[in-house]
Amino acid sequence: MGIDPREGTLLTVFALKLARGESGQNLMRTMTFKNEYVRDIARALAGETNVSEAARDEANRIRTWAHVPSL
């Protein structure tokens, strides 16, 4: 039935913080995503590879906008 948009807002913050040099591991510890798909996107942004293709594609879209360096 769709994802709570709060998760999307937090994901935006997550990506922006990554772009500013914060550690993905630290962010994964401090920011909580309830939705598994959104959590996968965050993990993909943080450089993890064992995520779904859709999550990786969405992470790439957000990475481009937020200027998150590719790992």
Partner 1 sequence: MCQDAIPSAVAAPAVASGMPDGAALHRRTIRDAVNELGIELAQDVPLWPPDVFAVVASVLQRSGTYRHAVTRWPPGEQEPDTWAKEMTELGEKWGSAWSRHGAAPPEVVRWWSVLQSAADLPVDELPSGTNVVEACLLLLAAADEACKGVGVVDDAARYDDFRMRALELLAGEPGPSSLCERVDKSRGIVLPKMHTPQSGLSVRSLSHNLAFCIPGEVTPRWDVAPAPLGKASLNLLLLPWPLEVVPSQFRPNKGHLSNMDEDAFRFFTCEAKARPAYDDRVAVLMTEAERLVGRVDALVFPELALHRGDAVRLARRFDKVVVGGEGSASDTETGDPGTNLAVIAVPTVNEVYRSEQHKHHRWRLDERQIGQYGLGSQLDPNRSWWEHIELPERQVRFWCLDGWLTFCVLICEDLARQEPVAPVVRAVGPNLVIALVMDGPQLGGRWTSRYATVLAEDPGSSVLALTSFGMVDLSRASGNPPSRVVALWKDGTGGAPREISLEPGAEGVILCLTQKDVKEWTADGRHDDYASGYLLLNGVHQVRPNGAERSG
Binding site for partner 1 (CB under 8 A): 1-13, 15-17, 19-20, 37, 41, 52, 54-55, 57-58, 61-62, 64-67
Judged by CB, which is closer to partner 1: 46, or 55?
Answer: 55
Judged by CB, which is closer to partner 1: 25, or 65?
Answer: 65
| Shortest Cβ 24–partner 1 spacing (Å) | 16
| Contact between residue 48 and residue 31 where contact means Cβ atoms under 8 Å apart | no
